[in-house]
């Protein structure tokens, strides 16, 4: 007989979601797209960092990675920080910063921390990602993306940004 209580259940669900986040990182590092896609619901909705503005469903999501991975370095690490988990009985979401790290030469895929929000549903007893939102902010003065090089710096110098964006 189980003696699990609600708080214990939440702790177990939190652990399950952290395990999925870890498995996701290991799968992308291995460029193993079948392992990666196993964590997604069939009708997942992705708001990605780059266009198109939305991607719907596992086949389209997988095709996006198949198109991108050839431009990735052979070896990289997927790391995350500032993880905020909100876990209910069958619905959960998490927000965090993620980064691909490389050794040696800088690589365009590893330039910035990016913001990720992932939404989960427990479907037939298994947590799956049903929604993912990945982004960077941009400066509306010049429509240029603003990279997150130092996540501990949460200020932004709008005066300097306006001066930079002004016509020369």
- For position 123 contacting its own copies by CB under 8 A, the verdict is no
Going through the chain in order, the beta strands assigned E by DSSP cover 40-47, 55-56, 77-87, 91-101, 114-123, 126-135, 138-139, 144-145
Least separation in angstroms between residue 115's CB and its own copies is 5
- Name the phi and psi angles at 118, rounded to 5: -125, 135
- For position 139 contacting its own copies by CB under 8 A, the verdict is yes
- For position 52 contacting its own copies by CB under 8 A, the verdict is yes
- For position 14 contacting its own copies by CB under 8 A, the verdict is no
Q: Do 13 and 87 touch, CB atoms closer than 8 A? A: yes
In Å, what is the CA distance from 102 to each residue of 29, 67, 98, 106, 135?
A: 11, 20, 13, 7, 20
The site that binds its own copies (CB under 8 A) totals a number of residues, namely 45
CA–CA gap between residue 102 and residue 124 (Å, rounded) = 38
- For position 106 contacting its own copies by CB under 8 A, the verdict is no
Dihedral sign, Cα of residue 149, residue 93, residue 144, residue 31: positive
Cα 118 to its chain centre, rounded Å, is: 7
Considering beta carbons, is residue 78 or 117 the nearer one to its own copies? Answer: 117
Least separation in angstroms between residue 100's CB and its own copies is 13
Residue span binding its own copies (CB under 8 A) among the ranges 15-23, 26-34, 72-80, 129-137: 129-137
* Helix residue ranges per DSSP H, 30-155: 33-37, 58-68
**Residue of the chain from 19, 69, 89, 162 that contacts its own copies (CB under 8 A):** 89
- For position 63 contacting its own copies by CB under 8 A, the verdict is no
Chain residues binding its own copies by CB under 8 A are 45, 47-56, 84, 86-93, 95, 108, 115, 117, 119, 121, 130-131, 133, 135-140, 143-146, 148, 151, 154-156, 161
């Amino acid at each position: 007989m189980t003696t699990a209580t609600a708080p214990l259940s939440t702790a177990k669900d939190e652990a399950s979601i952290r395990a999925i986040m870890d498995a996701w990182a290991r799968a992308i590092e291995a460029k193993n797209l079948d392992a990666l896609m196993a964590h997604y619901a069939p009708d997942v909705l992705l708001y990605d960092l780059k266009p198109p503005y939305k991607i719907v469903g596992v086949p389209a999501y997988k095709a996006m990675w198949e198109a991108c991975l050839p431009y990735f370095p052979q070896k990289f690490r997927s790391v995350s920080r500032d993880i905020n988990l909100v876990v209910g009985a069958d619905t959960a979401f998490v927000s965090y910063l993620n980064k691909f790290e490389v050794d040696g030469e800088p690589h365009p895929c590893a330039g910035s921390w990016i913001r990720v929000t992932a939404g989960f549903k427990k479907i037939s007893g298994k947590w799956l990602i049903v929604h993912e939102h990945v982004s960077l902010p941009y400066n509306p003065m010049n429509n240029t993306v603003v990279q997150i090089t130092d996540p501990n710096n949460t200020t932004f110098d709008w005066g300097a940004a306006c001066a930079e964006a002004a016509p020369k």
